[in-house]
Chain A
Amino acid sequence: MRGHHDMGGLPAGPVDRDEHVKQAWEKRVDALARLLSQKKLRRVDEARRAIEALPPDAYDRMSYYERWMAATAQLLLERGVITSDELGRKMDEVRARETAR
Chain B
Amino acid sequence: MSAPAADTAVPARFKPGDRVAVRSADPPGHIRTPWYIRGHTGTVERLCGAFPNPEELAFHRPGLPAQPLYRVRFPQAQVWPDYRGPAHDTIEIEIFQHWLEPVR
* A–B direct touch in complex (beta carbons closer than 8 A): yes
A: residues with CB less than 8 A from B are 1-3, 6, 8-9, 43, 45-46, 48-49, 52, 78-79
- Min distance, Cβ B101 to any Cβ of chain A, angstroms: 21
Interface residues of B (CB under 8 A from A): 26, 28-31, 34-37, 54, 57-60, 80
Contact of B35 among A8, A48, A52, A79 (CB under 8 A): A8
User: Which chain A positions have C-beta within 8 A of B54?
Assistant: 45, 48
Known: A2-B35, A45-B54. A9 touches B60 (CB 8 A): no
A48→B58 contact, CB < 8 A: yes
A45 proximity list for chain B (CB < 8 A) = 30, 54, 57-58
- CB neighbours (8 Å) of B30 from chain A are 45, 48-49, 52
Alpha-carbon distance between A45 and B2 when the two chains are bound, in angstroms: 14
Say yes or no: A49 contacts B34, CB within 8 Å: no
Asked if A46 contacts B60 (CB within 8 A), the reply is: yes
Which B residues lie within 8 Å of A6 (CB)? 31, 34-35
Give the residues in chain B near A46, CB-CB below 8 Å. 57-60
* Contact residues in B for A1 (Cβ distance below 8 Å): 26, 28
* A9-B36 contact given A45-B54, A46-B60, CB 8 Å threshold: yes
Interface pair B34/A8, CB less than 8 Å apart? yes
How far, in whole Å, are A1 and B54 apart by their CA atoms in the complex?
18
Please provide the 7 A-B residue pairs with the shortest distance between their CB atoms, ordered closest to farther. A49-B58, A45-B57, A9-B36, A49-B30, A45-B58, A45-B54, A2-B35
Across the two chains, which residue of chain B brings its CB closest to A79? B60
Q: How far is the CA of A79 from the CA of B29 in the complex (A)?
A: 19
Which residue on B lies nearest to A40, using beta carbons? B2
Residue on A with the closest CB to B33? A6
How distant is B24 from chain A, measured CB to nearest CB, in Å? 13
How far apart are the CA atoms of A2 and B60 in the complex, in Å? 23
Q: In the complex, what's the smallest C-beta–C-beta distance from A53 to chain B, in angstroms?
A: 9
Q: Out of A3, A8, A52, which one reaches B36, CB within 8 Å? A: A8
